[in-house]
Amino acid sequence: MNNYKDFNNAEISGYQLDKFQELIAKLFQCCQERMQYQCDRFQLPDAEFRCLLLFGDERYLTAKSIAHRMNVVKSRVSKIIDGLIRKDLIQRIADPEDSRVKLLSLTSVGQKKINEIKIFMEDVHGQVLSQMAPDQRQTMLTNLDILKASMEAVKEMMV
């Protein structure tokens, strides 16, 4: 995969490859800047912010599951969790099925923070979509689905 001429699909021009790499880099940079803004706005370090978002659809998580989802070692997750506990955003609860396991859940303060973050993110994403004509939105969403599927397929080949 070192040479774009080796791809099995239709011929990929140097221009297409360069433009794709440039756009991905710009999108990534934009996402990083937004993430930094969010962290500053909600007064959380990046790792704590990302960890807190994992609780959005989960009632309980374990340190092990957080480490896996964040792709970091468990000792790093322990520091992140300790920071969120000190801020009263999450709490440790003994697992009723296994007293050796500690479950983590949002506190009421944490749930309020998650709700604020969700509202903020919906607003930002709504503003992004509002920059496009209505007919362009569906095309963009379809193309993003194709991009996601393509990236996941390549990721699977890397494993």
Distance between CA 92 and CA 53 in Å, rounded? 17
pLDDT tens digit sequence for 29-47: 999 999 999 999 999 999 9
The model carries a pTM of: 0.80
Q: For residue 65, how many C-alpha atoms fall within 13 Å in the half-sphere facing its CB?
A: 13
Residues of the chain with pLDDT under 50: 1-2, 4
Residue 102 pairs in a beta bridge with 94
pLDDT tens digit sequence for 131-143: 999 999 999 999 9
Query: Is domain 42-158 classified as CATH 1.10.10.10?
Result: yes
pLDDT of residue 4: 46
The interaxial angle of helices 108-130 and 46-54, nearest 10 deg, is 100
Distance between CA 117 and CA 105 in Å, rounded? 17
Cβ within 8 Å of residue 14, ≥6 positions away: 4
pLDDT of residue 9: 59
pLDDT of residue 58: 86
Query: What's the distance, Cα to Cα, between the start and end of the chain in Å?
Result: 14
DSSP secondary structure letters along 67-121: HHHHT--HHHHHHHHHHHHHTTSEEEEEETTEEEEEEEEE-HHHHHHHHHHHHHH
Q: Is 109 in contact with 89 (CB distance < 8 Å)? A: yes
Distance between CA 52 and CA 118 in Å, rounded? 11
pLDDT of residue 95: 81
pLDDT of residue 29: 97
